[in-house]
Chain A
Amino acid sequence: MIADIGFYIVAFAMLVSAIWAVTAKNILHSALALIGSFFGTAILYLMLSAEFIAVAQVLVYIGGVVIFVIFIILLTSRLGDKAEIAPAMRKILAFALCSAMLGTFLHALDRAGYLVNTKTATAASDFASMRNIGLRFLDPGANGFLVPFEIISLLLLITVIGAIVIARKEGE
């Protein structure tokens, strides 16, 4: 019961900051509002006892992505500038599309029986624990994901090399 109330409080805070992020006139405010939304997501992950994902969410999104976004904004735009206002037609179209998508999702979730759910399905509390995630990533057996884990390292290697080539000044 307390967890339920906590969920609604966090979800409400997330919605408010998400709407703020989209509607804020100042692009820097949008970036800051994103932090609130990401932090709320991290709390939701914690409530689902997925502490690794929660920590990753804070480290990667708040610590990395948003700071990166803010850097880019400060480096490229003049904050005094007036925000570009989308034409009314586009706003209406975007609103209609988003409503249609929301409607589809609600309908689908309703038909699948997830919208009004009286039974609570819970995984074992250590299902997404750091220990289990680590063990499954390094397990070459039927329960593990060793191959994708190793391929991610290839991906990171070649991405770093490519980024250095692109960022490097010519003539050095």
Chain B
Amino acid sequence: MSIPLLLPDILLLGLGVMILALDLARVKASLVWNVAWMGLIAVLVVLNLIPAGWDRAWFGGNWNLSNFGLLMREFFILSALVTTLLARSNFVRGEEGFGPMRYKPEFLAALIFVTFGAITVVSSKDLLTLFVGLELATIPLYFLVAWNKENAKASEAATKFVLLGSTSTATMLFGMSYLYGFAGSLRFANIGEAVASSPTSPLLWIAVLFLTAGIGFKLTLFPFHSWAPDVYDGASTPITAFLSVSSKATAISFLIIMVYGPLAAIQVQLQPLLILLSAATMTVGNLGAMKQTRLRRFMAWSSIAQAGYILAALTGPAMSARSSVVFYLFTYAFSNYLVFFIASLVSDRREQTFASLTGLSRQKPWLGAALAIGLFSLAGIPPVAGFVGKFMLFGSAAKAGHFAFLIFVGVNTVIGLYCYLQVLKAGWVDTGEEAQEEANKNLRLSFTEGASITLLTLLVLGAGIAPWLGNNIAAVLQYGP
């Protein structure tokens, strides 16, 4: 059974349960936080000891460990770790004038369970496990958004999120039921056979339509994106960051699993649909980002555009799509978390707007530089990580020969650059808000924040300067037993 391969999953689950148990034993909340981040690092270390090249399944094929799953596990655990670090300040000093949040152990346990749900998605070999994993990766987010009970906007955001989220879940489940009815089985292998033998069946296409609509909500694709700005703005900064990274990565893994797994036989026919969604999503995201003044709302629109870019890779062949998406997700996560760390830092007592960045580069040059690096990476400027990531994403689409689409994507990247430069302008050029500049002068970084920002900056720079790191991902994905 080779149980050691399952050790990271089991340890992660154990960590979540242990945090809840520590809370029951009434230990200090700061200790629980330390256990959480150290535990996540430990799981990450154990995960890195597992060699690639296993494509094995356990429990009658319900739980599967593939190379793609292995890399995504690293991603999800890393993302949970950074969110845990980012969340500390919300429980110590609060943000945007609200007091510190409470119930830290439950918060951290929920984060870990969501991460386990995301891991379930990348481990699934059948629709039932996939769906249950997706729910475990979504439902706790509904209440995590509402965690700050002082903030009425958080409750409003959570209500919108629950209502639209359950509608999208119902839509997706409807699509899955059609897929089940079409194939007569929940297992991906059997569905793949059925798709290959009758790729034009109308039942299949109804299923594809509803599955895309359902997952489009979670990935904030164009017609299903309207919830994102409100929810991202209402939630606390760590949850917004987690939503924009882990939740989005779960959705894109779902699409990769479906498009290159059971639906592989109709991937070519799916390409026009994906191109349409991708192009519309990035345009809407970039246009929406132009007129924002609040940072989290801006990041919501930015993440919508980023979802469009990521989707572009799925028009390419399987291997380049997988490797470019995994690499891009890492660079996107580093840059996104970097920006969110700085946003959380400047909003300790103030509103989190563009204006609160005023004078950051004059008062705290290093923070200004980190902000610039994060934003340049999101926009895709060399030599930072985002450029290499985008290069590989669009390279994947180019392999399938979608050059007209890529020109459109290029135009969008320029529009996106304009949006990101607006934030940078607030931090580097704008003057006039004396009070904000004074407040930025008195910024105090805790050790956690300083260390995280430094590390993330180095990672963003490192992945840009050493782009061959991306080849490692391709190598892991192709590595056979």
Given contacts A148-B62, A155-B139, A166-B143, contact A161 B20 (CB under 8 A): yes
Which residues in window 90-136 of A have CB below 8 A to B? 104-105, 107-109, 111-112, 114
- Chain A residues in 8 Å Cβ range of B102: 170
Q: Which of A114, A145, A162 contacts B144 (CB 8 A)?
A: A162
Chain A interface mostly: helix
Is A154 within 8 A of B60, CB to CB? no
What is the number of residues of chain B that contact chain A, defined by CB distance less than 8 Å?
38
Q: Which of B61, B129, B205 contacts A151 (CB 8 A)?
A: B129
Is B203 within 8 A of A145, CB to CB? no
Which residues in window 18-75 of A have CB below 8 A to B? none
B141 to chain A: closest residue by CB: A162
A144 to B102, CA, bound (A): 41
- Chain B residues in 8 Å Cβ range of A157: 113
Is B201 within 8 A of A165, CB to CB? no
Is A145 within 8 A of B149, CB to CB? no
Is A147 within 8 A of B135, CB to CB? no
Is B60 within 8 A of A142, CB to CB? yes
Is A152 within 8 A of B132, CB to CB? yes
Q: Assess whether B120 is interfacial by the CB under 8 Å rule.
A: yes
In the assembled complex, the CB of A152 is this many whole angstroms from the nearest CB of chain B, namely 6
B115-154 vs A, CB cutoff 8 Å, 1 = contact: the mask equals 0110010000010110111011001101110110100000
In the assembled complex, the CB of B142 is this many whole angstroms from the nearest CB of chain A, namely 8
- Among B59, B61, B126, B131, the most chain A Cβ lie within 10 Å of the Cβ of B59
Q: Assess whether B432 is interfacial by the CB under 8 Å rule.
A: no
A154 to B14, CA, bound (A): 12
In the assembled complex, the CB of B174 is this many whole angstroms from the nearest CB of chain A, namely 11
A147-172 vs B, CB cutoff 8 Å, 1 = contact: the mask equals 11001101101110111011000100
- Chain A residues in 8 Å Cβ range of B109: 158, 161
List the interface of chain A (C-beta within 8 A of B). 104-105, 107-109, 111-112, 114, 139-148, 151-152, 154-155, 157-159, 161-163, 165-166, 170
27 interchain pairs (CB within 8 A)? A108-B203, A108-B206, A112-B201, A141-B60, A144-B59, A144-B60, A145-B129, A146-B62, A147-B59, A147-B129, A148-B62, A151-B120, A151-B132, A152-B132, A154-B13, A154-B116, A155-B135, A155-B136, A158-B140, A159-B140, A161-B106, A161-B109, A162-B143, A162-B144, A165-B143, A166-B143, A166-B147
